[in-house]
Amino acid sequence: MLKRVLVLLLVLTLVFAGFTGCAPQPAPTEPTPQPTPTEPTKPVLSFGMVTDVGGLGDQSFNDSAWAGLQKAGTELSVEPKVLQSTKQDEYVPNLGSLAGTVDLSVAVGFLFEDAMKTAADQYGDKKFGAIDISTDLAKANVMQVNFKEHEGSFLVGVIAGMTTKSNVVGFVGGMDFPLIQRFQVGFEAGVASVNPKAKVLVNYTGAFDNPDKGKEVALTQFQQKADVIFHASGACGIGVIQAADEKGFWAIGVDQDQAAVSKNNKVLCSMIKRVDVGTYTIAKAYADNTFKGGVVELGLKEEGVGYSDGGNNLTPELKEAAEKYKTAIIEGKVVVPVTIDDMKAFKPVEIK
Amino acid sequence: MENRKSELIEEIKKNAKEISYPLIAIIISFIAGGFLIYAFGKSPMVAYKSLIQGSLGDWNKFGETLVVVTPLILTGLSVAFAYKCGLFNIGAEGQFIIGSISAVWAGWAFNGLPPVLHVFLTLAVGAAAGGIWAGIVGWLKAKVGSHEVINSIMMNYIALNVSNYLTMTFLNEEAKAFTHEIAQSAKLWRFAEAFAQFKYSRLNIGIFIALAAALIAYYILNKTVRGYEIRAVGYNPHASEYGGISIAKNIVLTMVISGMFSGLAGAIQIAGVQYRANNLFGFTGYGFDGISVALVGNNHPIGIVLSGLLFGILQKGGSNMQLNGIPKEVVGIIQGIIILFVAANFVRIVFDKIKENRHLKQKTIREGK
C-alpha cells in the first residue's frame, strides 16, 4: 500500500513538474509581440466593464453592455476586460480593481451609484463610464449615459394606439417613480397622438422581480378591455407576457426584444434600450479623446432607444407610422413629454 | 507549573496535528485546481499570482479581503456552534439577512443617539433578530421535533422576502431599490479614518468583533457548564438526558446563540460596510459559505478564523483572476475541491492506512521471528 501511494505521489509530482515547467512559457511569449504595435504616437487603450450580479449570459443589460464594448474593442483592436460580480457588496471593490487595471471602467445600472462615486475619487486619473445612473454625479472623470426612454415609449404608444380594437390599452409599470413614469407618459402621448379616443389604463406592480404580480395586473387590465399592454416592469413583464399568451391580447416588451419570451408570439413589438450603443459611445469617446464628464442622453436620434419587431407582428402600415413619428421626433416637430406634468400640457400633433 | 507547561505543549501538538490534515488537503486542492486551470488553457502560475495579488497585493486589497472575511468568520461560527449540539444550521443565510435588515432599521430609526451607544444598539438589534429567527427553528425542533434543516431552509426564503418587502416599503429610500442610509452615529469605525494605507478599503472594526466572537464561542463551548451540556447533547442526546441535561432547552439555546452570530454578521455588514440594504435578487451567499468555512475549519473557532481567511482570499482574489482571463468559476471549483477533500477526510484516511500498514508489517515481522 505504502509503495503504491509513493508511486502515485511520484507520478503526480512528475506530471505537476512537467506542467509547471511549461506553464510559465506563455509569459515569455507575451512580451515578444509587444514591440510590434508600438507606434509611439498612439496611446495604449485599455477598457473594461464590471457586471452586476446577473453576470454575462443574462440576455439583458450585462450582455448588451458587453456587446457594445466588444464592438468598440474589435474596432480599436483592444481586448476589453470583464469583471463579473458575485455579490452586491462587491461593486465598490470590483470597480476599484478594474480601474486599477484599465484606463476606462464601465458599469451598468443605478446600483453602481455609490461604487462609481468611490472609485472615481480613488482613481482620479482614470476614466469611468456609467449607464443608467440618473443622478448627476458631477465628476469630471465620469461620463454618464442615460436614455430617453420616453421617446422609445412614444413609438410603441403609436403602434399600440393604432393596433387596439377596443380603444383601451394598458401600461404596467414596475415602481412608481420618475424613471418609470417616463415610459408611462411617453406611451400615453404616443397613444393620444394617433388615437385620441383610446384610454390608457395605468397600473404599477410595486416591484421589478415578481412575474406573478405582473400577470395579475395584466389580467385585471385585460378584464377592463385592454387589448394591448405595454410593460416597463423588469421581470414582472414575464408575467404580463404570460397573461398575453393565455388570453390572446398583445403585449409590448421593454429594454430588449422580448419576442422570444412569448410562447404564442403575442409580443407585438418591444421598446428597446440600446445599452450596447451606450457603452460603445463611451468607449468611442474615450478613444477619440472626446471623453467628458457629465450626463449624456441618448434618444431616437442617437439610436439609443427604438422599437424592435422580433416576432414579425408589425404590419407595414404600423411600421410606416412609427417611422413617421420617429422622424418627426428627431426633427423636433414632436416634443415627447418626460414628466406627468409635461403630459398634462401635451397637445397631440398629427403627422401626415 | 511544570505540569501546566507540558499540558500546554501537549495541547499545541494535538492542535498542530488537527490543523495539518486540512492544511494538506488545501495544498492538494490547489494543485488539483492548478491542473484544472491548465486544462482550461491558462497558466496556473498567472492564476495563483493574481489570486494573491488581488487579495493581499496592497493594504487596500488586504483591507477589502478582511471585509469579506469578517462575515465569513461569524457565519462559520454560527454553523459550527449549532453543529456542536448536533444541529445543522443551514439557516445562517436567513439569519444573516434578517440581522442586516434589522440593523438598517435600528441604525436609521434611532437617529440622534450618541455614537457609541447607537453602534452598540444597531449590532445588538441585528444579533437579537438573527437569534430570534434561529430560535424559532430550534423551538420547533424541541417542541414538535420537526427537522431543523428543512425549517431553516424555509426560513431563509421567508427572510429574503421579508427583507425585500421592508426594503421596498417601510425602509425604502424614495424612488430607489434600496433602504435609507443608516445614521452617521450607527456606523462602525473604519480604518480609513486613521490609516492612509486603508483609505480606499471599507475595513472596519467589525473584524475585531468577529475575532472576539470566535474567542467567546470557544469560551462558551469549552469552559462553561452550559457549553459542556451543549456538547453533551451533541454527542449523545439520550445519554445526556439520562444525566439530567435538558435536550429541548439546549437545542433552543444553541440555535439562538448560533443565530446571533449570523445576525451579528449581517449587522456588521450594514453598520461597517454597506450602510444600507439593497433589494436582494437572491441570497447573499455569506450564510452558505459559512457552512463551508465551518467544515474546513473543523468546527473549531480558531480553525474557522483561519478557514474564513482562506475563503476571503479566494473570493477577493478571485475577481482579480478574472481580470487575467481566468473564468470566475475557477475559484468556485477550487473551493469545491477543498471542501471535498476536507469533508471526505481524505488525508487522514490515507495517513491512517499508511500507519496501519506499517503497524501490521512490524507485527508480522515480529511474529515471524
Lowest-confidence pick of B50-54, B142-146, B181-185, B318-322: B318-322
Distance separating alpha carbons of residues A325 and A300, to the nearest angstrom: 10
Q: Does A24 touch chain B (CB under 8 A)?
A: yes
The Cα of A119 is separated from the nearest Cα of chain B by a number of Å equal to: 9
Lowest-confidence pick of A185-189, B36-40, B344-348: B344-348
Angle at A288 between CA A282 and CA A290, to 5 degrees: 70
List A129's β-bridge partners, or say none: A106, A143
Mean pLDDT (whole number) for B277-281: 85
Query: For position A41, what pLDDT does the model report?
Result: 52
Residue B320: which of A87, A97, A207 has the nearest Cβ?
Answer: A97
Q: Does A29 touch chain B (CB under 8 A)?
A: no
Which chain B residues are Cβ-neighbours of A53 within 8 angstroms?
Answer: 281-282
Q: Does B44 touch chain A (CB under 8 A)?
A: yes
The answer, yes or no, to whether residue B206 has pLDDT greater than 60, is yes
Distance separating alpha carbons of residues A311 and A319, to the nearest angstrom: 13
Q: Give the architecture-level CATH label for domain B63-318.
A: Orthogonal Bundle (1.10)
Which chain B residues are Cβ-neighbours of A93 within 8 angstroms?
Answer: 64, 67, 201-202, 316, 319
Are the Cβ atoms of B319 and A94 closer than 8 angstroms? yes
Q: Does A331 touch chain B (CB under 8 A)?
A: no
Higher pLDDT residue, B331 or A202? A202
Residues with Cβ within 8 Å of A224's Cβ and at least 6 positions away in sequence, in order, are: A168, A170, A201
Query: For position A36, what pLDDT does the model report?
Result: 47
Query: For position A30, what pLDDT does the model report?
Result: 43
Query: Please, what sign has the CA dihedral across residues B31, B32, B36, B39?
Result: positive
Give the DSSP letter string of A313-332.
Answer: ---HHHHHHHHHHHHHHHHT
Query: For position A21, what pLDDT does the model report?
Result: 40
List A267's β-bridge partners, or say none: A251
Query: For position A27, what pLDDT does the model report?
Result: 41
Query: For position B23, what pLDDT does the model report?
Result: 84
A207 → chain B, closest CA residue: B168
Give the DSSP letter string of A241-305.
Answer: HHHHHHH--EEEEEES--GGG-SSS-EEEEEEE-HHHHHHHHHHHHHTT---SEEEEE-TTTTSE
Distance separating alpha carbons of residues B55 and B67, to the nearest angstrom: 11
Query: For position B312, what pLDDT does the model report?
Result: 93
Instruction: State the cell numbers at B279.
Output: 433589494
DSSP H/E element including A51? strand A47-51
- What are the pLDDT digits (tens) for B188-201? 999 988 888 888 88
| Interface list for B 335-354 with A (CB within 8 A) | 350, 353-354
Q: Where exactly are the structural domains of chain B?
A: 14-40+327-369, 63-318
- What are the pLDDT digits (tens) for B208-267? 999 999 999 999 999 999 999 999 999 999 999 999 999 999 999 999 999 999 999 999
Query: For position A37, what pLDDT does the model report?
Result: 47
Q: How far is CA B155 from the centre of its chain?
A: 19
Query: For position A188, what pLDDT does the model report?
Result: 94
Query: For position A224, what pLDDT does the model report?
Result: 94
Round the average pLDDT of chain B to a whole number and report it. Answer: 90
Query: Which structural domains are found in chain A, ordered by start?
Result: 47-147+276-298 (3.40.50.2300), 149-272+315-345 (3.40.50.2300)
Query: For position A3, what pLDDT does the model report?
Result: 59
| φ, ψ at A169 (rounded to 5°) | -125, 160
Query: For position A231, what pLDDT does the model report?
Result: 93
Distance separating alpha carbons of residues B176 and A249, to the nearest angstrom: 32
The interface predicted TM-score of the complex, written ipTM, equals: 0.76
pLDDT along chain A (352 residues), means of 10: 57 50 41 46 80 80 90 90 86 89 89 88 91 86 93 94 94 87 94 92 86 92 94 89 94 90 92 92 91 91 91 91 93 90 85 70
